[in-house]
Amino acid sequence: ASFNKDDNSINKIFIQNNETYKAGPLIIASCPSGYTQLASCSNFGNTQDCVAAAMQTFLSTNIDGVGDTAYVYVSVGYTSTKVCGKVG
């Protein structure tokens, strides 16, 4: 899904799918209930590469045919970014 700051489309999709998220402290990145942590990436170097690699591995492993669904959730904390995934 693409993000449009004017209509918060990612948030709308998250709500439409009835995802449950219990937030921890704001400085700690965490995964929503039902998601598996795919990677914990440091925010102090190569964060984008780490996140991209985790997403690529997860999606290429779990999406291979028509109708397959996979969800990726990225949570940015103060010192690290968690990449989480769930097969739908």
CB 72 within 8 A of CB 53: no
Residue 10's pLDDT is 46
Which residues share a beta bridge with 84?
37, 73
All structural domains of the chain with their residue ranges: 9-87
- Reading the block at residue 28, the tokens are 């700690």
Residue 1's pLDDT is 44
Residue 11's pLDDT is 46
Tens digit of pLDDT per residue, the chain (88 long)? 444 555 544 444 445 555 555 555 556 788 999 999 999 999 999 999 999 999 999 999 999 999 999 999 999 988 999 999 999 8
pTM of the model: 0.68
